[in-house]
Structure 1
Amino acid sequence: MSASRWLPLVVAWPMFLQNMDSTILATALPSMSTALGVPVLHLNLAITAYLLSLALFLPVSGWLAERWGAKRLFCIAIALFTLGSLLCGLSHNLRELVASRLLQGVGGAMMVPVARLILLRNVQPADMIRAMMWFTVPGTVARLTGPLIGGGVVTLVSWRWIFVVQLPLGLLGMALAWRMIPADAPAEHRGPRTSLDAIGFALLAVGLLTLIAGLELGGKSLVSPGMTAALIGTGLLALWLYTRHSARSKHALIDLRIFRHFTYRTATLGAIPLRVAIGAAPFLLPLLMQVGFGLSPLQSGFMTFAGAIGSLSSRTTLSWMLRRFGFRAVLIAGTVGASLCYAGYGLFTAATPHALMFGVMLLGGLFNACAMVALNTLGYSEIARDKASHATTAATMVQQLSVTFGVVVGSSLLALASRWRGGPDAVLQAGDFTWVFFAIGAFTLLCVRGFRRLKPEDGAQLR
């Protein structure tokens, strides 16, 4: 098996753990609430703690990879995430659970950007399309099958097992990474060591922490609207100050000049609407199936699993399509197709045949996968290897914020639709989802304007 196939699967293994963990946890919250003797709303702290820890350590992951070596840091990240998972499963109260989730977040913050960095340094440009196709498989499958697996584990065993079973999987991931990822270059060949940009780190940490906290806490109505606005405003101000700081710093933590590359800017910032939709759909679809249509968690999981099948099926023809039609055409077609599928979800009713719903969600997974693989490949086509750590870290930060914002947008639009129909005390109904999915589908189309500015020959060296 070539390196463009096995290496992406090895470095994507932790993303399977990370996405599975986050999706299963949402399913297990009611059982955890009963076992720990705390209100279920308080357990949102476990989710928020992970996201805040992720936000705090994401900015420094690129610098640490340059300092310690990407392979070494990747293995350390898996170890921290796995240890945090084990401690979560052994927690006896909310305080221990939150502390364990913070440790998980430290590992999770370093896994995704460092994994992409390893790929960029070890896969040739001509093989990058195949590498990115395999790289996105485990995370996609985990994100879409998590509710199904979580429902089964919680029902048949105990909520603790959703964390404990990650111990052998994490150990296997570390063993594979240490054995199969090429060794890091000697320290003297990694370029001159630079001191940590402490001011930049502080600004990015404050910006991401307060922005994600505002989106998460405000989206769940855990803080007042005034506090939500203050947190989001503080986050935006800190990120703006970082842009000013990085322009003057010789050794900025993340060199924002990478956004001067049009393909990278388009794939990172121009694709935000699509990533927002990708964040919202896994939150909305299980609610529609269970609350709107009265399906059980297992039935809902089987239905939404269609997206994973669609995502996997795209691997059979995507490489050929990119070579035949180019990145520009595939991105536009994938985005338009995904937009139509999101709008199609809004047309679902309790009387819609399950086979039809399954087919539409399968197509949605296929179109999303085509667009995301093309974006993840094209975005780094112009990035020099000495700037790869900056590019992967910045892209991961934007992606995390987009997905978080997607969940907030989905829940806020759903609450607004429900209130519009029946007032503040209205019970959620299937019809409330219609306009939410229509809005998400329309929002996704905003990406097309940026993708149309790409040239047909962009990314030709990757094809």
Structure 2
Amino acid sequence: MPSPLLLDARTARLLPWIVAIAFFMQTLDGTILNTALPAMARDLAEDPLRMQSVVISYMLTVALLIPSSGWIADRFGTRRIFFSAILLFSIGSLLCALSSSLTQLVAARVVQGLGGALMMPVGRLTVLRAYPRSELVRIMSFITIPGLLGPLIGPTLGGWLVEYASWHWIFLINLPVGLLGCIAALTLMPDLRGPERSRFDSLGFLLFGAAMVLITIALEGLGELHLPHLRVMILLFAGMACLAAYWLRAVRIETPLFAPGLFRTRTFAVGIIGNLFARLGSGALPFLVPLLLQVALGYSPAQAGMSMIPLALAAMLAKSLARRMIERFGYRTVLTGNTLALGIGLASLSLAGPHYPYWLLLIQLAILGGINSLQFTAMNTVTLIDLDDRSASSGNSLLSVVAQLSLSLGVACAAALLGGFSAPIDAGTGSVLGAFQATFLCVGVLTMLAAAIFLQLTGEDGRRARKLEAEMDE
């Protein structure tokens, strides 16, 4: 592991900018797309209520590759992998813009996901190894600022590009930034490798990845794919079987992908399971709201994008309150109450309709943005707060995977519910708005049920380590 003294002054100054720009590209792409889905559906002759595969394919690819990112960087070096990640992300963006069918677009999003899965983990790993711990909080805080700006700019920019140019530009704008990023990675990124070669759990990786893919496709089969229920059940049980096989294998080998022993730490177990279920509602929110505004309420893409600004602004402001609330009330109270509030907020969007006051909708979205931000911060910190140094790396990697997986499952579940409630429309007995209202109500109720998971914490959990920075996000 190189000393900070091995970095020249210019590299030490510019390296955080390179990682921050990569983070911005990734978060911008994750939020700019949702507003453009109806326009993309029209251009590709698809149903706008069945475009979730464009979102899920990217998130699932990222979740699949995150566990291998550290091993790949150690094996081939941070400079080569970071450059390849930006290049893949840029090529995927170009392929997305050139896509003429939904199948091509989904395949291009997978290519984008291959780059996105490596960009941020490798960037964070480089910073972790290149700077002393005394500088780490300052540098990581700097790197995460663009990640907060992405959700603020993305929906509005996406709406304006779709309305005044075309949806292709939401991908093309990545190309000049990607070109600069590739040049910067080759000239400024230090080529760091792990101190020792570790053995990668390839079979565990395949079993865990197969489980995630099969379960996600099973949920997709209820929505966009319209698979018969028998095939959905077969896929679901096959995914569960792969997960069980992974777990049984991980118990008996020395270096599994994710050590089962992590779950002996109660706060980690509650945090991981809570993340999985509570983030289902959080994942559904940015997917459903732009569709509701455009497809059901008739907003223009630009109006729908600008309507998401209060949500992103409130999320940024809530970060400054998170630490104080956790210190005052404790994780159990904050997470239980906040999860219930998140579910109620999601269910309240079922009240939206043609004559619903626009100002009230903006207030609801702002409140949801603040609640969501507090939820992410509290869930992430309680998950990692009691892990020792030896377990922290594996625990953080599993948390990153679960965060991405739960967001993609949230989109899949929301789309499946939306598809089910939209079925009466084909028979002429339902409405698009009614389908959205029922979907928001169900997603809200499901999210509220996750509060029971956080009740398993005690009032003292996390108190002895609460000086940990509560600035973690997904």
Range into which the TM-score falls when normalised by the shorter chain: 0.7 to 0.9
Residues 204 and 242 in structure 1, CA contact (< 8 A), matched pair in contact too: yes
**Could you say what secondary structure the match of 1:317 adopts?**
helix
Question: What does 1:315-326 align with in structure 2 at a 5 Å threshold?
Answer: 315-326=319-330
Task: Give the match for residue 240 of structure 2.
Answer: 236
Q: CA separation in 2, counterparts of 1:368 and 1:47?
A: 19
Q: Aligned to 2:67, which of 59, 62, 69? A: 59
Residues 79 and 192 in structure 2, CA contact (< 8 A), matched pair in contact too: no
Can you list the C-alpha shifts for 1:150-205, whole angstroms capped at 9, x where unaligned?
23213322333222211232345567778998x67664xx3x42233222122123
Residue 260 of structure 1 aligns with an amino acid whose one-letter code is R
Q: Which moved more, 1:131-140 or 1:203-212?
A: 131-140
C-alpha spacing 1:386/1:226, structure 2 compared with 1 (3 Å): same
Task: Give the match for residue 169 of structure 2.
Answer: 161
C-alpha spacing 1:447/1:114, structure 2 compared with 1 (3 Å): farther
Task: Report the Cα offset of residue 358 of structure 1.
Answer: 0.6
Task: Give the match for residue 371 of structure 2.
Answer: 367
Question: What does 1:402-413 align with in structure 2 at a 5 Å threshold?
Answer: 402-413=406-417
Q: Aligned to 1:88, which of 92, 96, 102? A: 96
Residue 309 of structure 2 aligns with an amino acid whose one-letter code is F
Residues 16 and 139 in structure 1, CA contact (< 8 A), matched pair in contact too: yes
Task: Report the Cα offset of residue 94 of structure 1.
Answer: 6.8
Q: CA separation in 2, counterparts of 1:398 and 1:306?
A: 27
Q: Aligned to 1:102, which of 102, 110, 115? A: 110
Residue 466 of structure 2 aligns with an amino acid whose one-letter code is A
Residue 60 of structure 1 aligns with an amino acid whose one-letter code is S
Task: Report the Cα offset of residue 50 of structure 1.
Answer: 3.7
Whether 2:307 is the aligned partner of 1:303: answer yes
Residue 439 of structure 1 aligns with an amino acid whose one-letter code is C
Q: CA separation in 2, counterparts of 1:88 and 1:13?
A: 21
Task: Give the match for residue 225 of structure 1.
Answer: 229
Can you list the C-alpha shifts for 1:347-375, whole angstroms capped at 9, x where unaligned?
23332221111111101100110111122
Number of matched residues?
A: 451
Residues 291 and 428 in structure 1, CA contact (< 8 A), matched pair in contact too: no
Task: Give the match for residue 257 of structure 1.
Answer: 261
Q: CA separation in 2, counterparts of 1:180 and 1:258?
A: 36
Task: Give the match for residue 314 of structure 1.
Answer: 318
Q: Which moved more, 1:107-116 or 1:274-283?
A: 107-116
Whether 2:397 is the aligned partner of 1:393: answer yes
**Could you say what secondary structure the match of 1:271 adopts?**
helix
Q: Aligned to 1:378, which of 382, 386, 389? A: 382
Q: CA separation in 2, counterparts of 1:161 and 1:291?
A: 21
Q: CA separation in 1, counterparts of 2:311 and 2:79?
A: 32
Q: Aligned to 1:433, which of 432, 436, 451? A: 436
Task: Give the match for residue 4 of structure 2.
Answer: none
Residues 97 and 169 in structure 2, CA contact (< 8 A), matched pair in contact too: yes
RMSD: 3.8
Task: Give the match for residue 448 of structure 2.
Answer: 445
Task: Give the match for residue 197 of structure 1.
Answer: 201
Residues 319 and 377 in structure 2, CA contact (< 8 A), matched pair in contact too: no
**Could you say what secondary structure the match of 1:441 adopts?**
helix
Residue 305 of structure 1 aligns with an amino acid whose one-letter code is I
Question: What does 1:21-36 align with in structure 2 at a 5 Å threshold?
Answer: 21-28=29-36
Task: Report the Cα offset of residue 405 of structure 1.
Answer: 1.9
Whether 2:361 is the aligned partner of 1:357: answer yes
Task: Give the match for residue 266 of structure 1.
Answer: 270
Q: CA separation in 1, counterparts of 2:394 and 2:387?
A: 10
Residues 347 and 434 in structure 1, CA contact (< 8 A), matched pair in contact too: yes
Q: CA separation in 2, counterparts of 1:184 and 1:346?
A: 51
**Could you say what secondary structure the match of 1:229 adopts?**
helix
Can you list the C-alpha shifts for 1:93-133, whole angstroms capped at 9, x where unaligned?
777655543321211222354456567776969986x9887
Residue 462 of structure 1 aligns with an amino acid whose one-letter code is L
Residue 340 of structure 1 aligns with an amino acid whose one-letter code is I
- Structure 2 gap segments, 5+ residues each: 1-13, 470-474
Q: CA separation in 1, counterparts of 2:167 and 2:41?
A: 10
C-alpha spacing 1:251/1:316, structure 2 compared with 1 (3 Å): closer
Task: Report the Cα offset of residue 227 of structure 1.
Answer: 2.4
Q: CA separation in 1, counterparts of 2:418 and 2:106?
A: 28
C-alpha spacing 1:384/1:339, structure 2 compared with 1 (3 Å): same
Task: Give the match for residue 3 of structure 1.
Answer: none
Can you list the C-alpha shifts for 1:225-282, whole angstroms capped at 9, x where unaligned?
3322222222221111111111112222232322222222222212322200011112
Q: Which moved more, 1:259-268 or 1:22-31?
A: 22-31
Task: Give the match for residue 156 of structure 2.
Answer: 148
C-alpha spacing 1:30/1:186, structure 2 compared with 1 (3 Å): closer
Task: Report the Cα offset of residue 308 of structure 1.
Answer: 0.6
Q: CA separation in 2, counterparts of 1:224 and 1:316?
A: 48
Q: CA separation in 1, counterparts of 2:87 and 2:431?
A: 41
Q: CA separation in 2, counterparts of 1:86 and 1:34?
A: 20
Residues 120 and 388 in structure 1, CA contact (< 8 A), matched pair in contact too: no
C-alpha spacing 1:327/1:173, structure 2 compared with 1 (3 Å): farther
Percent identity of the aligned residues? Answer: 33
Instruction: Name the TM-score, length of structure 1 as normaliser.
Output: 0.82
Residues 112 and 396 in structure 1, CA contact (< 8 A), matched pair in contact too: no
C-alpha spacing 1:382/1:193, structure 2 compared with 1 (3 Å): farther
C-alpha spacing 1:12/1:424, structure 2 compared with 1 (3 Å): farther
Q: CA separation in 2, counterparts of 1:321 and 1:127?
A: 24
C-alpha spacing 1:295/1:225, structure 2 compared with 1 (3 Å): same
**Could you say what secondary structure the match of 1:251 adopts?**
coil
- Structure 1 gap segments, 5+ residues each: 1-5
Residues 417 and 436 in structure 1, CA contact (< 8 A), matched pair in contact too: yes
Residue 278 of structure 1 aligns with an amino acid whose one-letter code is S
Residues 8 and 131 in structure 1, CA contact (< 8 A), matched pair in contact too: yes
Q: CA separation in 1, counterparts of 2:168 and 2:42?
A: 13
